[in-house]
A and B are shown apart, each in its own frame.
Chain A
Amino acid sequence: MATESYPRTVLYCGVCTLPPEYCEFGGTTRKCEEWLEENKPELHKKLYSQEALEQNLSALSLDAQKRAEKDSQKKAAKAAAAEARDAETRASSKILIKRIERNKRKYVTAVQGLEAFGLDIKKVAKDFGKKFATGSSVTKVPGGGEEITVQGDLSEDIQEYIEENYKNVPDDNIELIEDKKKKKAEQQAV
C-alpha cells in the first residue's frame, strides 16, 4: 500500500460515469458491460467473470438478493424509459433560427430550441459570439424559455456552425425562418 504512487488514476465508465466496479448498481448495466469489454478487456474479465458474479451473489441472503434484483430491474426500466423519452424529444424538437429585421438593413438572429439537444445555451451563446465576433446573448422569450440572440444576419452561418459542431443535432431538425415584423407596424397596432 505504502509504495503506491499518487495521484492514482481511476478509470471511469464511459456510459454511466461511475467507476466500473459500481456499474452494476446503475440502471444501464448491460451497456456499461459492453463498453468495458470494448475499452478495457482485462478489467472486464475481472469484473464480469463467472466467479466474480457468483461471489457477489453469495454475499447476500436470498431474501436480500431478491429485493436487490427487483430494485435493479426497476432502475433499469426507469433508465430505459428516460432514454426513450429523451430520444423522442430529440427527434421531435426543432431548432429555429429566426432572422429578425431590426432596422431596414439591420438584422438580429434568434436561435431557439437548442436546450432540447442537451446543449447549454449560455455556453453556446458564448461560442457564437466568439466564432462570429458579434454580440451574442441569452434572452428570455415572452412565452417562457430562453433563446440566443446574435447581432447581425447570421442565420445561414449559424446553421452551418451547428451542423458542423454539434453532431448530435440532426440536420433536418434545423429550420430557418424570416421574421419580418416591422417595429413601426407593431407600434401602430398597439
Chain B
Amino acid sequence: MFKKDITSGAKSKVKSSVQRTIRQKVLDAYPLLEPYIEDILPKKEQLDLVKLPDRVSLYTLQSTPLFFQHMDDAILPHLTIVHRYPNCFPRLRIDRGAIRFVLSGATLMAPGLTSPGGRLPGDPNDTEGRYGKEELEAGTPVVIEAEGKETACMVGVLKVGTAEMKKTKKGQACEAGHYLGDGLWTLSL
C-alpha cells in the first residue's frame, strides 16, 4: 500500500466522540490490547487524523503514528505500536528466505508461512503458544514476524484462512499492508 514514499495530506483534529468509536473499534479488533489502551489511546488526549494518499487515514497522537485505515477496512496498527506491544496481536511467522521479499513490499505468499521456518497457529514446533492455537479466518489483520528476529516486520490482512493455507500451501497469503521501511514507516510528521 505504501511502496512509494508518501507525503502526508491535511491534518485535522478528531472529535472526541469519533475518538471514542475508534477506541472501541481498536479494542474490538485487538482485545488483548485492553490493559494498555489507556497508554496507547488516552481518553483525554487529542487524536489527530492525517490524510494519506489512496484514501488512507492515519491516526496520530502528537506526531506519533498509531493506527491507519484504508477507507472502512480493518483498522491496522502502525509497526511502532506492534514493536511496543508485540503480544497483543494475532501473529504469524515467516521463514528467513521470505524476509527480503517482504521488506521490498511483495505480497506475502503461503510457502513462506508453511515452510519449517514459518509459523502458523497451532504449529507443533511452537511450544510457547506464541502464535496461538485457533485458526484465523481470511480478512483477519495479522502481524508478521520473522524467523530469528524479535521484532515484527509487517502488518497485513489475511487473504486466505490459515486452515486452508495449511492445506494448499500455495498462493497469496497476506496482503502487504505496512512493512518495515515503506512509505508509512519513513513518513515524518
Contacts and interface: CB of A to CB of B under 8 A. Distances in A.
Q: Do A and B come together as binding partners? A: yes
Interface of A: 1, 4, 6-10, 16-19, 21-22, 25-26, 55-56, 59-60, 64, 68, 71-72
A1 B84 contact: no
B149 interface: yes
B65 to A, nearest CB: 13
A101 B18 CA distance: 49
A7 B96 contact: no
B77 to A, nearest CB: 13
Given A8-B84, A19-B83, A60-B96, 17 more contacts: A1-B87, A4-B87, A7-B39, A8-B86, A9-B84, A10-B84, A17-B181, A17-B185, A22-B181, A25-B99, A25-B103, A56-B96, A59-B95, A59-B97, A59-B147, A59-B148, A72-B100
Contacts of B186: 17
Contacts of A68: 97, 100
A26 B117 contact: no
A26 B86 contact: no
A10 B99 contact: no
B180 A64 contact: no
Sort A-B residue pairs by CB-CB distance and give the 7 closest, nearest first: A7-B84, A10-B83, A19-B151, A21-B149, A59-B96, A25-B103, A18-B180
A71 to B, nearest CB: 6
A126 to B, nearest CB: 13
Interface string B78-110: 001001111100000001110110010000000
Nearest to A16: B181
A17 B181 CA distance: 8
Contacts of A60: 96-97
B36 A7 contact: yes
B59 to A, nearest CB: 17
A39 to B, nearest CB: 17
A157 to B, nearest CB: 27
Contacts of A25: 99-100, 103
Contacts of A59: 95-97, 117, 147-148
